[in-house]
Structures are given as structure tokens and as C-alpha cells.
Chains A and B, each alone.
Chain A
Amino acid sequence: MPEKVLQGVVGEDAVIDRMALTFIFNRLRERGYTVYGTVNEKGTGLFRPLGDLSDLSLRCTGGTLPPKHIWYKPFETLFAYDRVRNHFKADVPPVKQAVFGIRPCDVHALLALDEVFLGGGYPDPYYWARRVELVLVVFNCVEAGDTCFCSSMGTGPGLGHDYDLLFTELLRKDGASGRERYLIEIGSSAGGELVQGLKGEEAKQEDHQEKRRRLTGAGQGNRFTLETDRLPRLMQEGYKHPYWEEITNKCFACANCTSVCPTCYCADIFDETDFNLRETRRKRRWSWCFLVEFAAVHGGNYREKHIDRLRQFMQHKLNFSIGQHGFFHCVGCGRCIVWCPANIDIAQTGRVIRGDA
């Protein structure tokens, strides 16, 4: 097997073994990055800062919860105002963060949030500070999770862009499945810098064929499907479809779906003041269109009815987001399906409204 030392050039590839993960992890740590990865906590896959690479659990297909909190904090201070000094404090230095084992669907979700936070007339400096130096070490999915439908949404199981480093698990040399051999591809100069000098093997045509085969297999493993052709228009026309009533009757309005959605970005902004009244902090926290007060104003509530709130969530993901950004804000990660205590399923809803189910 010809050995290869990676030069760190964009587009370069190699076949590497598990030790390469340690190499990249250590290099990120040396460069001062906080490295996030999926950690298995009692069966729940969560993106946590990794103290040690052995904490990383690549078994959790995208993580039970998304990595959104890494670039969009559940709570953050937009500014602090000191009354005595008449001074605003709003310093946001860029942070060096890396995500190890982020999956293609979550990268698409990140790109959706890029549009929301950075694509308008007033870019958000807090999101910017966590985003600009973010390093994405992406793992393509070679097996599908139980509720995935990324192949319907065009967001997986493989990623073709916007990665710094891309890993695809290959079969072991004895032909068995296992997390030992990977095809690595460099997607950016930042990614290249991290693997410069890393030793591996020359990637052969068969390795790329195997990558394609495994991704096709994972795509076919998507048990959920949703045809997206004409979907926004059919969702628009299906606004009064009786199925909305049917699922509203089951829905607890618990907001789990919106809480675990990797593209939900709505927020509540509020003031908090010290007991001595000296400092006021204006804060932002995640909020969800499922909450009854979400669209309330002094004289009433624009989405007081439960059905309107459920419909807002799904219509936004499968319809309104197209009008806003030109792509779906549903990436087919299936987390809202996993977390729904009433077994409400956004893909099924889309199929019913389309007339496919």
C-alpha cells in the first residue's frame, strides 16, 4: 500500500486510520480550539466539549440533540449597560470552536442559520463571532438513523461542500464494518492546515467507489421519505387540510419539536437588572412558535389557537422558508419525530398534505 503524507491542499484525499483522529484532535487543541463532539450520555448523543477523544461517540448518528448551541447560544447577553458609568459593554471576540463528527444534515442546518443571522441587512455579531473561525470536521453518514429523511431533503447522507475536513468510514481490510479506516477529504485551507503532515495511504478509485456505495446504502436506509417537488405550493394550498385538525388533536403543544430543531432560530429578548440597579443586561434566549405567548401583543394574540401554532412550525419548515431563503428549513434530521410524545411526524404530514399518503 503506497504511503501518503498529506500536504494539506484543498481537494486532497487519503485513506487514514483511527489514529488520524487523535492527530487532528490534538492539533486543534494545540491551536486553542474548543473541540465539540458527540458524547454518549446514558444513551443520549449530545454535542459537548471533548476533554479527551475517547469521549467521542460516533455511534450517535447526528446526535440526539443538534449542535446548534455551539454557534447560537440558548442564552446570551446582547449588551450590558452600566448606569453609573453610562457605558455599554458589548464585546464579542471571535471564538475558536471545532465540531468533530458533525453530520451533513447539521451542516445544512448551519448554512440555513448563516442566512438568518448573517444574510440580512443587520448581521448578528454574536453569531458571527462563533461562526467565523468554526471548523467543521464532518462525518458522512454510512448508516441511517431511525427517523432520518435527509436523502429526501437533499441534505445527506453525504456532503459535497462547506466542510473543512470530510470523513467517510470505509470497511476494514478484512471486509468487516468498523470504525477503523476512513477516507479523508480536505475542503478548505483551514482543514488542510490541520492535517498537514498526517500520514495515510493513497486513496484509490475503489475507496471512492466504496464511499459512494456506502452513502447510497445509507440513503436507501432512510425509512422516512418526503417528495419535495412542488411541496411548498401544495403546503400553501393545503393550509386548511383536515389533517391539521387531526394532528392538532394529538399534539401536546410541548414545543419539543421546535426545541430540538437544528434550524429553529426564534428568540425572546428581555432585560435583566442587578439588584442594586446599576447594570442592565439585555439578553436573548431561544423561543419557539409553539409557545402560546409567542405571537401575543397587548391587545390579543395572532396565533392563539393551537392549530395555528402547529401549522406555523411545519409550514415554516416545508413552505415559508422557501419564500424566505430559497431552500427548506427542514434538513430531514428527524429529531422532531424522535422527540414528539404524540408521534407526530413532519414527513408524514408533508406526505398527507401532498396527497402521497
Chain B
Amino acid sequence: MVKIKEVARRRPANPYLPRPVEILAIKDETPDVRTYTLRLRDGAPFTFMPGQFNMVSVLGVGEAPISFSSNPESREALDRGIFQHTIRAVGNVTKALARLQAGEQFWVRGPYGTGWPRDLARRDLTIIAGGIGLAPLRPVILQKLEEKGGRLEILYGARTPGDMIFRDEFPDWEARGARLLLTVDRVPEGENWPHRVGLVTNWLQEMEVRPEQGSVFICGPEIMMKYVVRGLTERNWRPQRIFVSLERRMECGIKICGRCQIDSEYVCQDGPVFSHAVVKDLLGTDL
């Protein structure tokens, strides 16, 4: 219980104040997704764990939760405090971000939430992602490619080849040992697509990482995650080895506004990364 007399002695820092970040570079991933390379305006170091997020602000428009898409242990992260967000322009805030240019700034506060389990990421790992859901998993991929321990396979699906993010990095990931299984819902006429077609759930059978040794990290639309988790469970994957990153409406990121609650969990701080062992018993999601 909160003891008000103890709490009274120290005024809390204001957790709602954002810090300015400078946009160092913007890269177009798809027609509506951009990767922003960022650094705090004051040059202070910025650390985070893969899977965590920032509350990203455009002052006057609002705030939205956005996960990190860069490797927190890269040289530029450690030496210069550089980090990345990969953002799809779909809401008020993200559309306002899309109008910004390199050299301009926006605002962040964070990092918030739980990350992907580091110990399991070091062993055999399958990453399953849909669409923009690959963004919060890219930090895990980049870390793992540096480490050389345990196999890495990535099962990635998107609506069309043009909706795939980080596409230009795939050859490098493969060259450094990742096994990529790519699939799209449909291929536009005239486009050459040498990979798979169909939902990611159709390709679970191609997974080489075994339930006895490995783990699966999943991020994508909830409906996709639901069927992926079912498919994995049928293939004898235990819920303790399946991790999902959940999306919910968030307005504070610090367990106060109440918007992201599922059952007794707050997605902002108890998540967004949850073990399926926790999620499967929650009322309010049928994952």
C-alpha cells in the first residue's frame, strides 16, 4: 500500500514532459512507412531494450506509442546515442511525423515497457512478423546477427512485396546467417516474386527451429498472432517459449491513464511483450 506520509516527502518528477529529438535521417521503407534515425537534442545517451517503446509527440497534435527498431548495442547507439523508430503514417501523430524532414525535431519520452527476453533471444529463435510488426523485432535480429549464437529464422508476411519493410536489408541478414521465409498475400501483376504466397500460418511447417530448443517471438495484427499461436501450439510449442508484442490504445505509457488494460495487465508497463503463458489466460483477448 502507498503510505502517503512517506510519499509526501518527495515531489515526483514530472513524467509527462517529453524531450526533443533531432531527425538525423529519414528512410522510406514503403509508401507510408519511414525509418527515422534520431538523437536527443541535448546529445545525452539513450538506452533501451529491444521490444520497448517511446511515447512519441508532435506538440499540438498529440502522442503515440512507437517501438524502437534499431540495435541498442550498435556502435552509433553506444557512442552517439542514436536510435531509430520505424513508423507507419496512419493516425494524427504519425501523419504529422510524416511531414517532417531531416534536421527537424519531434519529442519523445521513454523508454517504456518490457522487452523481448534476452536470454531466449540468444538461443535458437524464430521471429514471426506481419507488416509493420517486423519493426519492434529488428533490434532482436540485429543484435543476434552480431552474436552468432543459436540459429535465427524469420518468417515474415505482408500484404504485397511493396509493403515489406527493411526489404533492402534482407540480403545482408541472409548473408550473415539468418534464414528468411517471406510470404505475401498477393503479388501485383507484372511483379516478380520468387518467394511464398499466402498467410504466414500456411508456412509454419517450414520452421526449422524446434520446440525443444528454441523460442518464437511474434508481432503483427492480433488476428494473425492468434492463428500463429494456435498453429505453434498444435506443433507442440509450449506457451513459455512463445512471446507476443501486443498493441493497445495508450495515452500515458506509465500505467495511469488506464487505456491499455487487458484483464489485470497494463500493456504499457506489464507488456507490450508478454509470454503466451500469461496472455492465454487473460480475459479480453483470445490469443
* A271 lies within 8 A of B248 (CB): no
* B17 lies within 8 A of A90 (CB): yes
Q: Which of A92, A265, A268, A289 has a CB less than 8 Å from the CB of B251?
A: A268
A269 to B62, CA, bound (A): 8
Cβ of A239 under 8 Å from chain B = yes
* A120 lies within 8 A of B7 (CB): no
Q: How would residues 191 to 209 of chain A score, 1 for a CB under 8 Å from any chain B CB and 0 otherwise? A: 0000000000000000000
A128 to B17, CA, bound (A): 16
Q: Which of A267, A273, A280 has a CB less than 8 Å from the CB of B252?
A: A267
The interface size bin for chain A is: 35 or more
- Within 41-70 of B, Cβ neighbours of A (below 8 Å) are at 59-63
Query: What distance in Å separates the Cβ of A137 from its nearest Cβ neighbour in chain B?
Result: 16
Cβ of A111 under 8 Å from chain B = yes
For A90, the chain B residues whose CB sits under 8 A away are 14, 16-17
For A78, the chain B residues whose CB sits under 8 A away are 14, 16
* A269 lies within 8 A of B248 (CB): no
- Within 111-128 of A, Cβ neighbours of B (below 8 Å) are at 111, 114-125, 128
A26 to B259, CA, bound (A): 42
* B255 lies within 8 A of A277 (CB): no
Cβ of B283 under 8 Å from chain A = yes
For A124, the chain B residues whose CB sits under 8 A away are 12, 15, 256
A299 to B261, CA, bound (A): 18
Cβ of B257 under 8 Å from chain A = yes
Q: Which of B59, B221, B255, B285 has a CB less than 8 Å from the CB of A120?
A: B255
* A88 lies within 8 A of B17 (CB): yes
* A118 lies within 8 A of B249 (CB): no
For B61, the chain A residues whose CB sits under 8 A away are 271
Cβ of B269 under 8 Å from chain A = yes
Query: What distance in Å separates the Cβ of B252 from its nearest Cβ neighbour in chain A?
Result: 6
* B247 lies within 8 A of A297 (CB): yes
Query: What distance in Å separates the Cβ of A311 from its nearest Cβ neighbour in chain B?
Result: 8
* A320 lies within 8 A of B261 (CB): yes
* A271 lies within 8 A of B60 (CB): yes
For B258, the chain A residues whose CB sits under 8 A away are 116, 265-267, 287, 289
* B2 lies within 8 A of A115 (CB): yes
* B254 lies within 8 A of A114 (CB): no
Determine the residue in chain A with the shortest Cβ distance to B248: A302
Given A90-B14, A298-B91, the answer on whether A316 and B255 have CB atoms closer than 8 Å is: no
* A111 lies within 8 A of B1 (CB): yes
Q: How would residues 1 to 32 of chain B score, 1 for a CB under 8 Å from any chain A CB and 0 otherwise? A: 11010011001111111000000000000000
Given A123-B12, A295-B249, the answer on whether A118 and B261 have CB atoms closer than 8 Å is: no
* A116 lies within 8 A of B12 (CB): no
Cβ of B284 under 8 Å from chain A = yes
Cβ of B76 under 8 Å from chain A = no
For the complex with contacts A79-B16, A320-B264, 17 further pairs of A-B residues with Cβ separation under 8 Å are A78-B16, A111-B2, A114-B1, A116-B258, A121-B255, A122-B255, A124-B256, A125-B12, A131-B4, A267-B257, A270-B62, A273-B60, A296-B249, A303-B284, A312-B284, A315-B263, A324-B266
